[in-house]
A and B are shown apart, each in its own frame.
Chain A
Amino acid sequence: MRDIAFGQYYPTGSPIHRLDPRAKLVFSLLYMVFIFFAKSYVAYLAIFTFIVGVTLISKVPFRALLKSVKIILVLLIFTGLLNLFMYRDGNILGEWWIFRITDKGVDFSIKIMLRLSFLIVGTSMLTFTTTPTEMTDGIEWLLNPLKYIKIPVHDIALTMSIALRFIPSLMEETDKIIMAQKARGAAFDTGKLHERAKSLIPILIPLFVSALRRADELADALDARCYNATPHRTKMKKLAFSYRDAIAFLILASLICFIMVDAYYFTQFVPVGHIASGLDYYVFSWISGLIA
């Protein structure tokens, strides 16, 4: 329980940690969108270099990032295999029953697995380097325009930050309850499926009771301090963009330009029917030239 690393803030105080959370949120969104534009392996290599660079600057150990990839490993393999066997187009390499492996299928399934891994690594990088409070502050700012159509943005942000704040507390509570019930001889990992499901009751009920108790207490505490009595709340820590955010933006923008130029400019020159796309074609030709 205690060792769940996915999405947990990893304090190192690096320049990445000190980026403005609003900027980081926008950058992550851009990153996630433009990953899907990448066509060639050269572009994937560029993304890989980018993320390795970010990781090195952030001082978050690669081990932590690999852990987050490990969480989606099953999904990754499943998607990869599905694409590998079900892709119809391209030159057939092998066929059995309803399965068919084609050269394009191989190409596509490798790319989709890379894409998913980059996606999860990028988003974990956001959560590794941004505290939940910063994150909600950033989200609140980004959602600000919605205020004009009477959406209670601040309340939504507060609810979110409370939810995030309580994840570790409830996890700790779960840990304690599991220990207490184990101490009374409860077994959670043996028996038939319905027995195992039933063995969760002694954990879930106390957990819900305590979550409701905490929620009640917190609501009272908010009331007692006249929360929401004033229309315009001010912030103790104001967010401010700095030169760092500009530099980070320039770096990300060059990555995006590279991906787009590769996908839309260089792809034009690839002969129709050739499997390579974008700059891959040039690399391919160059290597064939070397061999010949």
Chain B
Amino acid sequence: MQGIEIKNLTYTYSQKTPYEKKALDNVSLKINEGDFVGIIGHTGSGKSTLIQHINGLIKPQSGSISVMDINLNQKKPKPDLKRLRTEVGMVFQYPEHQLFDDTVEKDIGFGPKNLKLSTEEIKQRVQDSMELVGLDYNDFKDRSPFDLSGGQKRRVAIAGVIAMRPKILILDEPTAGLDPEGKEHILTLISKLKNDVSPTVIVISHDIDEITRFATRLIVFNNTKIAFDIPMAELFKHEDELVSMGLAVPMAVRLANSLKKKGIALKGNIITPQDLNASVEAYYNNKFNNSESNVLIDTATSAEVRS
């Protein structure tokens, strides 16, 4: 299968010591090629452990996992981790902490070089990756990665991962610690990468508003288990569950649901501010059903969204 298949995966850190800690409890999951998955959950809910399994960085203790037809449970012959890691690109939290080389070009070329590609091919890939993340090749190639700004460093680090041309791209908290502008850059970049490089993208985030902007499927982790796994469009049905887990609910969902309680039932699946905008407009148009009030409605809509 051209995706990820996980069955009954359980993982415990520091087994048989007083520091023993369960990280994953009987998790089953199937991610198909082309999925755009957002994963949310509290710190320690098992998200990071799960994605480390997908890249073969931790061996499964119990349960089975297979990625792009590579069976990670196999003992003999050992699973082809080299191929796995070219198929699955992994951007860790604060990826700029892993930069090490003296120039941006060499650092981005580290992955392709490990693949033993030709010098021209490496150069080509570095150039393409830099272009994708929006760093000018000639401007940046000879600069030290340590002299760049936080947002630029992160883009260099991401370029280093996509230079491997992975089919599956996993990002762990890709916007953590960036300013709003840097965040915006990364979010746009992720959507672009999904179209141009990696057909399957998995993003872990704390910020649900951020995830609703692009992911089409949402997996919520709670306490080492998958709480629910839904198409993003059904998110509005799960407000109470999210609240009971202490997780944030997207602003638009919150607003639409509280309007509903007040007797104003908006139509459609409202997840993003754009959905909300459209629904409110439709609601007003429907209610007053005359074109004169359109101006008034527009101001009312944007006022609602802003609040």
Contacts and interface: CB of A to CB of B under 8 A. Distances in A.
Interface of A: 2-3, 5, 10-12, 64, 173, 176-177, 179-187, 201-203, 205-206, 209-210
Contact of B90 (A12, A180, A205): A180
A209 B107 CA distance: 15
A58 B111 CA distance: 49
B57 A209 contact: no
A85 B111 CA distance: 51
B57 A202 contact: no
Contacts of B98: 176-177, 180-181, 202, 206
B174 interface: no
B110 A202 contact: yes
A2 B14 contact: yes
Contacts of B110: 181, 184, 186, 202
A203 B101 CA distance: 11
A189 to B, nearest CB: 12
Contact of B114 (A176, A180, A187, A201): A187
A5 B92 contact: no
A237 to B, nearest CB: 22
Nearest to B15: A3
Contact of B18 (A12, A184, A186): A12
Nearest to B108: A184
Interface string B76-110: 00000010011011101001011111000000001
A131 to B, nearest CB: 13
Nearest to A210: B97
Interface string B3-16: 00000000001100
Interface of B: 13-14, 17-18, 52, 55, 57, 82, 85-86, 88-90, 92, 95, 97-101, 110-111, 114-115, 146, 160-161, 164
A184 B164 contact: yes
A179 B14 contact: no
A12 B114 CA distance: 46
A185 B86 contact: yes
Chain A at the B interface: mostly helix, strand, loop or mixed?
helix
7 contacts: A5-B17, A183-B57, A184-B114, A201-B100, A206-B97, A206-B99, A206-B100
A274 to B, nearest CB: 48
A5 B115 CA distance: 35
A10 B16 CA distance: 12
Contacts of A206: 97-100
Contacts of B89: 183
Contacts of B13: 2
Specify which of A181, A184, A209 lies most central, judged by the most chain B CB atoms within 10 Å of its CB: A184
Contact of A185 (B18, B100, B101, B164): B164
Contacts of A64: 17
B254 to A, nearest CB: 35
A211 to B, nearest CB: 11
Nearest to B163: A184
